[in-house]
Amino acid sequence: MNTAPRTALTIAGSDSGGGAGVQADLRAFFANGVHGLVALTAVTVQNSLGVQGFTEIPVDVVTAQIKAVASDMGVHAAKTGMLATAEIIQAVAKTLDEVHIGRDTGTPFVVDPVAASMTGHALLREEALEAIRTELFPRATLITPNLDEVRLLTGITVTDPATQRAAAEALLEFGSRWVLVKGGHMRDTDTCVDLLYDGTEPIELTGARINTENTHGGGDTMASAITSSLAKGADVPTAVAEAKRFIERCVAEAYPLGAGVGPVSPFW
């Protein structure tokens, strides 16, 4: 008889273009050998040219999805992506406590603080950023902001290793166990250095900068790959290192699709 696989839960929005959001999360879970569970938070209308709009899912439907899968199938690790509104964020935080998911529970929880798409379209109502800071970060095992999100959250513009380190220190103050400040958008270097920090020794993860225009869904894929490794029992530094190798391959194999930005690739 087969045994049940490890499971990872994504609490995030749908991308009709299939490149980011829960579609990217499920692909990354699958590729990393865990069963993906979904609590859908919003439906975006988008293609390669950008996000044309979104509608959020009713709050009680978001929380009911989390409770349904947690009570029956079990969750070995969870992540959040697009959460759309402060109401959804507050309700998700309360529900995660009820089902024992979060930094102090034994079930790791990754927060990807999605605020806007690369094309600059808001994916979060304005007042909701504060709720991510106060409700989700203190419950997070790891937070994974990109440099735009770092600036929104801390006011720090990361341009070099010193400002990246300062941003990591500032973000850790919000209460997560670990912070990953991704360097993917520091444009003027040929390497891509991510900084992982838990208040002790900073860990630098260096990779090659891969030249591609097609990076849609990269952040979601990275956070989901980390969550997959955590679901399989890896510690945070190991999970991040494994995910970095995975995302590099996805970016290297990214493909054009539509007239705008194509997705990072799950095909390899």
- Cα 93 to Cα 88, 135, 139, 236: the distances in Å are 9, 6, 8, 21
In angstroms, what is the minimal distance from the CB of 89 to ligand PLP?
14
In angstroms, what is the minimal distance from the CB of 237 to ligand PLP?
23
In angstroms, what is the minimal distance from the CB of 48 to ligand PLP?
9
In angstroms, what is the minimal distance from the CB of 216 to ligand PLP?
4
Question: Collapsing DSSP states into helix, strand and coil, what is residue 111?
Answer: strand
Query: Which among 139, 140, 145 is positioned nearest to 124, based on CA atoms?
Result: 145
Separation between Cα atoms, residue 254 and residue 248, nearest integer Å:
10
Q: Which is nearer to ligand PLP, 81 or 108 (CB)?
A: 81
Q: Which is nearer to ligand PLP, 13 or 102 (CB)?
A: 13
Q: Which is nearer to ligand PLP, 123 or 150 (CB)?
A: 123
In angstroms, what is the minimal distance from the CB of 3 to ligand PLP?
32
Q: Which is nearer to ligand PLP, 105 or 149 (CB)?
A: 149
Tell me which residues touch ligand PLP (CB under 6 A): 12-13, 15, 20-21, 44, 81-82, 114, 117-118, 123, 216-220
Length of the chain, in residues = 268
Q: Which is nearer to ligand PLP, 1 or 187 (CB)?
A: 187
Which residue type sits at 75?
V
Q: Which is nearer to ligand PLP, 49 or 208 (CB)?
A: 49
Q: Which is nearer to ligand PLP, 7 or 117 (CB)?
A: 117
Query: Which residue's Cβ has the minimum distance to ligand PLP?
Result: 21
Separation between Cα atoms, residue 261 and residue 179, nearest integer Å:
28
In angstroms, what is the minimal distance from the CB of 88 to ligand PLP?
13
Instruction: Show the tokens assigned to 148.
Output: 């735009």
Is the distance from CB of 226 to CB of 240 less than 8 angstroms? Answer: yes
Query: Which among 235, 232, 267, 234 is positioned nearest to 253, based on CA atoms?
Result: 267
Q: Which residues contact 82 (CB under 8 A, 6 or more apart)?
A: 12, 13, 21, 41, 42, 44, 54, 114, 123, 124
In angstroms, what is the minimal distance from the CB of 11 to ligand PLP?
11
Separation between Cα atoms, residue 155 and residue 157, nearest integer Å:
7
